Structure 1
Amino acid sequence: MTVQDIRSFNRFYTNVIGALDYGRHLYAPYTLTESRVIYELAHAPRTDAADLRAQLHLDAGYLTRILNRFEEDGLVERGPSETDPRRRRITLTTRGREAAALLDERARESVGALLDTVRAEDRPRLAEALKTVRELLGEGRAPRPEDVVLREPAPGDLGWIVQRNAALYAAEYGFNLDYEGLVARIVAEYGEDHDPHLERTWIAELDGRPVGCVMCVRDDAPGAARLRLLLVEPDARGLGIGDRLVGAVVDFAREAGYREIVLWTNDILAAARRIYQRHGFVLVAEKPHRSFGQDLVGQDWRLELDATPE
């Protein structure tokens, strides 16, 4: 392997994906860099300019010009950071989210068309080759929080939510198949009939694989949203994924006009409860129960959306 080998591959691959064709339908009317900025904003609910510069390795002046253009076009809004008053928080507007959705749809179509040229029997070999490249070029570097993206579920992700919830809760807490049945019903109800303006699911993705999830759905109580099925894979814990997922729910619920968010959990889920507390959730009731083959203490938590976390 030589430097020339890698440079040759880079030229080949940029031609394949059209990275140098800025007038291409895939990115129009944005450049590849602008499209990537929109992607990062769409998949990171709480982002400021410093985060974007670090994630994308962009010059500060160049990023500022991009954000200025986006603000003029009504794609983004800028406001004070919730964690550092010296920083400016960047969020997509409704128009910005529509642009992100269009770019994502075009990307999926483009990659799908590319995969259509690969024989079915060759696709596992291609997937393994891509994985090998990521592993070798990233060898020795531990995953970073900025490597994780939050996205909407793709085909197959809802089934993944059921499978991983069942497997992890069985392994970590001894839950039986009753829990898998409960998760399957929750996911099926969401998949069959949900209002995207009032309900949403997030998948946390790291290195091309799902490593976490959460749902925000309407509760039976008027004006209340319910947080459900928060999960982070064991090998992805410690990257702040759970905190980002809960933050995404809180931000979405506020924007959707909910007055409060409620959730039900069990006292054995200590790490999740600490995340809820950091976001301002308050324990309002608890009760012992026998479920999923275990003796548990169920807890009801609530967050009033006009309240500010301590």
Structure 2
Amino acid sequence: MLLKKRYLLVGAAVPLLILNGCSIGDSTEQRDIPVEKIDMSRYASKTAEGIFDGVLNTKFVDIKINGEVKIFTVSDKALKQLGDLNEGDQIQFVYSLNEKTIQNELQSVTQVNGQEVETVTEEQKPVKDNLDVKKKVKKENEIEMEVEYPTTTKIVGAVKSDFIKGKFNVIDTYDWNDQTLDKGDTEVRFHTVVDTIEDDIQKERWRAADILKEVGELHEKKESNRDGVKFIFYAENDNEYKEIMVVKNKYGYLRVETDTPYDEKEDTIAEVTAMLDSIE
């Protein structure tokens, strides 16, 4: 899936019911209150064709129709299909007007480059084959890497990049600059920790606790599959998840600070874990 970094301001128009002619007084006369009739046919599903032009922050998609780029919100079903698309694919899709947001919402993709899209439910997928394989990446110097998400394993595109004194794989939906990974509202910062000995990382624990108390109640993950982890603290609220981890690898001690929207935390943690595991 190609992710565009863009911020959208999306307005939602709300239909108004206009009430007329109510008066308060001694009269008990019954009066009819006219109510504007809403044409529900406007919310019916429609089929269209266009050119897939990329995804914006996992919540919106660009589709070029008759040379003009249109923006659609994305249903959960359609979001799962977008991982198999490449920018420039000719698609046929079903969309409808969302009653709550009054935005056109992509419901599903039915054809890609003239080929019918077969819908496969999770129950139909063999467990051992539950691997969502992305199409071959087209960008130069890109490689493929495996990410173990909470419900499935995916092969995603990545770029080998400089990391401290070595190399690591950066997933292609992230921007890597000045020891910081950025993707939409997600930011992951890496810092080398100096003047720290094996049994004296208490100051790092204090530092992390002081930062996280601004987000919510402090928690510590007691178990980790990663070698060299000294501690993982986290805090969260309805909107934000923030995690601070200190780990020791061959380059010394490393502090990893992850800040992401609450509803994206599981996928973000999986992606950061995969990128850390790729450090050479």
Q: Is TM > 0.5 for Structure 1 vs Structure 2?
A: no
Larger Rg: 2
Could you state the TM-score of these two structures normalised by the residue count of structure 1?
A: 0.23
* Larger strand fraction of residues: 2
Could you state the TM-score of these two structures normalised by the residue count of structure 2?
A: 0.24
* Larger helix fraction of residues: 1
